[in-house]
Chains A and B, each alone.
Chain A
């Protein structure tokens, strides 16, 4: 084995590894919710059923909330 090439190979592996990780996280952006105790609930907005103005869970800050993610079917 050519030991002089090791740092370059290692560097390339790091670069590719980093690229792979960043691509993976890009693909998985919002791809899967994994709700964990202690995690902040995402603050992004959704259309509201009763109002023209989208709402976010941030709008309920200050109150203890029971959130149901469901469907009527």
Chain B
């Protein structure tokens, strides 16, 4: 791979203090880069640009930057240390007339907040970006509102849509999560990509959670290899705040693999008593939210025990199951999907079931609904009851007209 190759080739120069390696990562989850750095034994500083404040369109990019902060080479020949030595390291560069401003001094966020509404989107973008860098998780709500103000003043601002999506997904992964956050993240990224379809950082972010047919590669397959190799060396792998999920591990596919054999519907007569969302709250996210006829989408169905009602999973019974009954012509990978049970007898974690569907080539356009229902064992703490319940839900994706 590009970056570890450079690391190996320049190790002596780094050790001798002649070359400083620095990384800027363009990822939603920076802790994964930490594990990657540990695995590849790369101990240099990493800056995190999840919001793409740099505005890059592709990665990787390597820049040779001189002692004054001026770019002297863009993508130098990979690993060619001799050339780097001759053309960069042994040269003394003249300083520019003015050095780049900025630095790592915290701004006064309150003074950056524009006093007025929509009329100054640049100032709002600056405020939102400052919150993204300096506000942390505590100020994610403000960052979302500030990016939303930029989008409100210019609906064609692709970068503002993308950054809104990043902020929503960050909140989804945090303790401040609100219902609909993941959906809003996907919508932000999808809108950004629609406005600027050649922006590969936007494209990769949505592909990370999308169907296998759209994938250029498995995004985080390396995580399991890294952990195994680090453990074999006696090291403790750096923990991940957010574990990669099915979509992120999914291998690219050339063809959609629909369910072949008959599958038995678990509750064909609808006799299992219903949970109307009292015990388990369900959120459905389609990635992408809009597809062409004949294209695939991946649904993320998120099940969350309702905290206010003290409900939790009963893990001593059957697995959580999801049955899909797509309309005529629609294909699914599987009609019945299950989520494995954890070892402890009860738990309250969110559970995510993912499934891919394909629209027929001659699909009607507009929002299409795939009826589904989930079956699960859930307990409520009030009377200590554990119940087997069914919840009906709708998986919806928008199909574009031809």
Binding site for B on A (CB under 8 A): 26-27, 29-33, 35-50, 53-73
Contacts and interface: CB of A to CB of B under 8 A. Distances in A.
Contacts of A60: 20, 22, 65
Given A40-B70, A58-B102, 9 more contacts: A29-B122, A40-B99, A43-B100, A47-B47, A60-B22, A66-B10, A66-B65, A69-B24, A71-B204
Contacts of B222: 72
A49 B73 CA distance: 25
Per DSSP, are chain A's interface residues mostly helix, strand or loop, or mixed?
loop
30 contacts: A26-B121, A26-B122, A30-B53, A30-B125, A31-B159, A36-B71, A37-B72, A37-B73, A37-B74, A40-B100, A41-B100, A43-B69, A46-B47, A48-B48, A56-B103, A57-B47, A57-B100, A58-B69, A58-B99, A64-B66, A65-B64, A66-B65, A67-B62, A69-B24, A69-B49, A69-B54, A69-B59, A71-B33, A72-B35, A72-B36
A41 B69 contact: yes
A24 to B, nearest CB: 11
Nearest to B126: A29
Interface residues of B, number: 75
A43 to B, nearest CB: 3
B57 interface: yes
A54 B133 contact: yes
B184 interface: no
A60 B68 CA distance: 9
A-B pairs, 6 with minimum CB distance = A43-B102, A46-B47, A72-B36, A43-B100, A49-B46, A73-B219
B20 A45 contact: no
B202 to A, nearest CB: 11
Contacts, number: 214
Nearest to B51: A46
Nearest to B105: A45
B104 interface: yes
A55 to B, nearest CB: 5
B18 interface: yes
A42 B102 CA distance: 8
